[in-house]
Amino acid sequence: MSQAPLASFEPMIPQVAALLADDPTLQAFFNDLTPGYQREWARFIFGVKAAATQQRHVAVMKTVFQAGFKSKRAYDSRDKAAD
């Protein structure tokens, strides 16, 4: 994953929202996140070089949002026994 400062990913936030255009509910969820969460998602997706990895990260982001979590860290820390 990229070692670039988190702030350097802020210009990519609209690109993340565009990746969710096929699902207005998920796009609205992303747009309602604070800028800090949005930057984290931009880094998660665009901080990797391989297109296949970026696509996999987009799929992970959608799964996290569908589960109602704002961050991958919170999603990964959830009580998996309740799933």
Instruction: Pull the structure tokens for residue 67.
Output: 């589960």
Per-residue model confidence (pLDDT) at position 1: 62
In total, the chain counts a number of residues equal to 83
Query: Is residue 82's pLDDT more than 80?
Result: no
Rounded to two decimals, the pTM is: 0.90
- What pLDDT, in 10s, does the model give residues 10-25? 999 999 999 999 999 9
The predicted structure's pLDDT at residue 44? 97
What's the pLDDT at 2? 59
Half-sphere exposure of 49 (CA within 13 A, CB side): 2
b vs e for 70-81, b when ≥16 Cβ sit within 10 Å of the residue's Cβ?
A: bbbeebeeeeee
